[in-house]
Chains A and B, each alone.
Chain A
Amino acid sequence: MSEKMEPAMPPAGRLILILSVIALISGVTIVFAYQITAEPIARNHRERLERAVFTVLPGAEQRVNYSLDDDGLARLAGEEIDRANVYAGYDSGGDLVGVALEASAMGYADTIRMLYGYSPQRECIIGFTVLQSSETPGLGALIATDPDFLANFECLDAELNEEQTALENEIRTVTRRDAEEDWEIDGITGATVSSEAVGRALRESAERYLPLLARYRDDLPEQMEAE
């Protein structure tokens, strides 16, 4: 410090007052910034979710949010999307294309969050997209973009057993040989861990939610209904 002499200490009250005034102004500024941006941020999230849902449900143009748990399938009004875990997609004619569900598993670097589309009529997974991942660019991150990998999800077998309690065949990723069965995912060479994480995530999510979905199937309308 260039000052030769320490200036006299101002009274503590003054210090607290000045600091409080600064803090108050700062608080007001932040609330102001928060209010201006709250709307666009919510819209961004909504649009991204919408895009993801329409990606995994080819042909879908409208979306309805549901919450699915052991107690049943409940339609959520409006944009109450915080509690939603199932998104039903309908095409332009109002017919049900399928439902989009979330899945997640530990990847190479961090948890990978993904969304997949399931068609109850065809009992298979019809689309897949990555919501969030920090996989290695150029290797693990290929699970989001590699066309050969994404081709696995044109109709990945997710048939339930006769009692409708579990998957008939466990979904899994194979990396050391080509996929032979309909429920096997052809992994990406050089991205074994990430590809296997996808298989694991889909298996766990499907084991958990698809039997529930089958049980409460009647609550999911085949035709788009107005709210």
Chain B
Amino acid sequence: MSSASKQDGPITYETFMSGAWKQNPVFSRLLGLCPALAVSNTAVNSLVMGLASSVVVICSSIIISLLRNVIPKQIRIAAYMIVIATFVTAVDYGIHALSLELYDALGAFILLIVVNCMILGQCESHASKHRVTTAAVNAGGTAAGFTAALLMIGSIREILGFGTFFGITVFGEGFQTWAIFVLPPGGFFVLAVWLIIFAMVQRRKEMSARPQSARSGKEVVHAT
């Protein structure tokens, strides 16, 4: 694995943004969906879950990147899981100590960060092959992308479902809340809508990049 480190270029804006936007864990790679939907019924819950996952993914990436030449290939997954589980347990205790309300709202889903495929994926495909700084910046990008995605889902659900944003009332008295949005089906619907928007934006970017082939884009998809 040491050979892989040589291909590291300097850290650029791209190192961060590839994780945050192009490879966005939720909208582009469909990773980490369980927490993205399960606890995203309010903006606060989403933010806390996003930050908790961020801490875990960044810390694990740093440790694994440091240990990348020590851990033999055969036991790497087991070793990654131990590192991740350690940070998750610590974060779980941290949130429990900070606020019981948050802890109850997030419940078992804090512990379930450990099986978030985004984190293991980040460790396996990036941190284990790059030097510490690159790994940390890229993990930071992924974490930012994940938190942003959660917030985008959580804000919509809270605004429509409770009529509030971070607990502040957005609409006037007469607003009839759409309870469905804070219930499980609402999570699926909001995610689906964001996926469509994300796909449209990506598509438009590709079109402007390759104006020639873009015109035929619609027909190509219909043919498949």
Contact = CB atoms under 8 A, between A and B. Distances in A.
Direct contact of A and B (CB under 8 A): yes
Contacts of A226: none
Interface stretch (A2-10, A54-62, A86-94, A205-213): A2-10
B78 interface: yes
Interface string B73-109: 1110011001101100110011011111000100000
Contacts, number: 70
| Majority SS at the chain B contact face | helix
Contacts of A151: none
Contacts of A36: 93, 97
Contact of B179 (A37, A45, A139): A139
Contact of B86 (A2, A7, A10, A29): A29
B31 interface: no
Contacts of B94: 33, 37
A19 B97 contact: no
Nearest to A6: B73
Contacts of A9: 74
A145 to B, nearest CB: 12
Contacts of B85: 26
A26 B60 CA distance: 12
Contacts of A138: 161-162, 177, 179, 182
Interface string A75-90: 0000000000000000
B182 A137 contact: yes
Contact of B96 (A2, A26, A37): A37
| Size band of the interface chain A makes with B | 20 to 34
B93 A22 contact: no
A199 B127 CA distance: 55
Main secondary structure of the interface of A (DSSP, over half): helix
A223 interface: no
Contacts of B78: 19
Given A23-B82, A30-B86, A44 B70 contact: no
Contacts of B74: 9-10, 15
Contacts of A29: 86, 90
B128 to A, nearest CB: 11
A136 B72 contact: no
B72 A14 contact: yes
Contacts of B93: 33-34, 36-37, 41
Interface residues of B, number: 31
Contact of A22 (B83, B89, B161): B83
A45 B96 CA distance: 10
B183 interface: yes
B179 A136 contact: yes
B84 to A, nearest CB: 10
A99 to B, nearest CB: 23
B97 A37 contact: yes
A122 interface: no
Given A22-B79, A22-B83, A138-B182, A33 B89 contact: yes
Which 10 residue pairs of A and B lie closest in terms of their CB atoms, listed nearest first?
Answer: A40-B97, A26-B86, A33-B90, A37-B97, A37-B93, A138-B179, A44-B100, A137-B182, A10-B72, A33-B93
Interface of A: 2, 7, 9-10, 14-15, 18-19, 22-23, 26, 29-30, 33-34, 36-37, 40-41, 44-45, 48, 132, 136-139
27 contacts: A7-B73, A9-B74, A10-B72, A14-B72, A15-B72, A15-B75, A18-B71, A18-B72, A18-B75, A19-B78, A19-B79, A22-B67, A22-B82, A26-B82, A30-B86, A33-B89, A36-B97, A37-B94, A40-B97, A44-B97, A132-B104, A136-B179, A137-B161, A137-B162, A138-B161, A138-B177, A138-B179
